[in-house]
Structure 1
Amino acid sequence: MVVSKGKLLLAVGLSMLMAACAQSPERQDSWESQMPGRETTVSENPGSIYQAGYGMSLFLDRRARQVGDVITVILSEKTDASKSSNTATAKESNISVPTVTLLGRGVTDNGVPILTTGVSSDQDFNGQGASSQSNSLTGSITVTVSEVLRNGSLRVRGEKWVTINQGDEFIRIKGIVRPEDIAADNSVPSFKVADARITYSGKGALADANSMGWLGRLFQSVLSPF
């Protein structure tokens, strides 16, 4: 089999493009902490006991409630799924045509009918399948409030990067939290975060060792003819 030079260059170019698209994730601005808007300057009034902007509520807790506040999300994710199926079918069909007669007598050869017709069919199918999957993620991550919705719910987002001698690991999470679900210590379990998107991944030598090479990804892609 002879491969032209143009086709070979095209395959190499596509593989390099796939390798570039599969690079390790980087820090993104969309996951950075959301800071509240700049507040207007408050004029000081020397000599007065009350100073605007320096008030303190004696009955207000420190739970997050506005943009820029932080919430600790306790990661407690565990999923177990299993599925099994068993299918068996059988079908049998028989069709027979009466012996053909000629001038009122059957057509035979030495007494054996020669114009008889019959069709039979027998089909059997037996299939089995089983699948199971289990995932677990525990830990904690502190995120910031990026938006306060009209109903009072808080949209939160954040990421945490941990640098190890062989690479970086990170956790990203975003979702919506109800103020009623926030505990007294300003924490909320991850299973109470609505529309949650949790990502745990890494980059570096260990992550590269566990990833498929660019040539293997080429043969596993939809562009591969094999």
Structure 2
Amino acid sequence: MKKTLAACLLLAGCGNLDHVGRAPEFSPIDSSNERAAMYSALPESSDPTTATSASSLWTAQRSSLLGDHRAGHRGDILTVVVEINDQATLKDSSGRTRKASSTAGIPQLLGIPQILDAGVLPGGATSSSLVSANTSSTFSGTGNISRNEKVTLRLAATIVEELPNGVLRIEGMQQVLVNDEMRDLLVSGYIRPDDISRQNEVAYDKIANAQISYGGRGMISDIQSPGWGQQITDQIMPF
């Protein structure tokens, strides 16, 4: 049992050793939704909505000067502009004070209080003040949260699905490898065709159910992350 546990811990610790001495590899794109959408998209000439006279100088095709160059169909590419500049400051202060006093006695009850006062009660206690209690509590709390986030990014995304109501589902991925450090940028969500500008761009705040991820992996990221032993200890320690 002890040998099995030691072997499991050893394998867990060696899980990240497969990329030691090597730069992170790019994610494969052969099985991505973007590639599938591009390969299944119909060419423009087969779209009946763009059929125009071949002899006309002004056509509705995208290659024309007056054509609509915006993405609108499965497999088309557009630019997603991410400009996040969020600032938030929250302050909270609360205080509570409570005082209570209670006194109970029996001045008259068939002569019993006089009998008790005559010598039954100890040390000067009287029946007129048998119980006396005082309580006091004070609480004060203060909280302060300050946040400032700014992210500016641009990346190309692909329309991977056209929904029946005309809404478009987009997905985009960008990977940059610099000095053995991979930077991954992912975006996905739903957009309306009307929100795509004439420059074939869409702002991130126009994307419904937006999922935007910007992170990294590599030697620097591994060093900045706590080891697996530290993570396990943080989870199981009660203090």
TM-score range, shorter chain: 0.7 to 0.9
Q: Give the aligned partner of residue 48 of structure 2.
A: none
**Mapped partners of 1:12, 1:89: distance in 2:** 55
Find the residue that maps to 2:85 and give its secondary structure.
Answer: strand
- In structure 2, the CA distance between the partners of 1:112 and 1:183, relative to structure 1 (3 Å rule), is same
* Residues 159-178 of structure 1, C-alpha deviations (whole Å, 9 max, x = no match): 00001013111100001111
Identity %: 24
- In structure 2, the CA distance between the partners of 1:225 and 1:126, relative to structure 1 (3 Å rule), is closer
Q: Aligned residue pairs: how many?
A: 209
Query: 1:218 aligned to 2:228?
Result: no
Find the residue that maps to 2:225 and give its secondary structure.
Answer: coil
1:186 deviates by 0.6
**Mapped partners of 1:193, 1:19: distance in 2:** 40
Query: 1:140 aligned to 2:140?
Result: no
**Mapped partners of 1:196, 1:93: distance in 2:** 54
TM-score (norm 1): 0.76
The AA in structure 1 aligned to 2:40 is G
The answer (yes or no) to whether the contact 1:154–1:176 under 8 Å persists in 2 is yes
Matches within 5 A, 1:45-124: 57=61, 58=64, 59-98=66-105, 103=112, 105=114, 107=117, 112-114=124-126, 116-124=130-138
Query: 1:128 aligned to 2:142?
Result: yes
Gaps in structure 1 of 5+ consecutive residues: 43-48
Query: 1:37 aligned to 2:51?
Result: no
1:77 deviates by 1.5
Q: Give the aligned partner of residue 45 of structure 1.
A: none
* Residues 37-85 of structure 1, C-alpha deviations (whole Å, 9 max, x = no match): 2759x9xxxxxx96xxxx9734431110111100001111122223221
The answer (yes or no) to whether the contact 2:41–2:74 under 8 Å persists in 1 is no
The AA in structure 2 aligned to 1:167 is E
How much is the aligned-residue C-alpha RMSD, in angstroms? 3.6
User: Where in structure 1 do 4 or more consecutive aligned residues deviate above 3 Å?
Assistant: 8-21, 23-26, 28-33, 99-104, 108-111, 223-226
The answer (yes or no) to whether the contact 2:26–2:175 under 8 Å persists in 1 is no
**Mapped partners of 2:202, 2:123: distance in 1:** 92
* Residues 137-156 of structure 1, C-alpha deviations (whole Å, 9 max, x = no match): 10200011000111212111
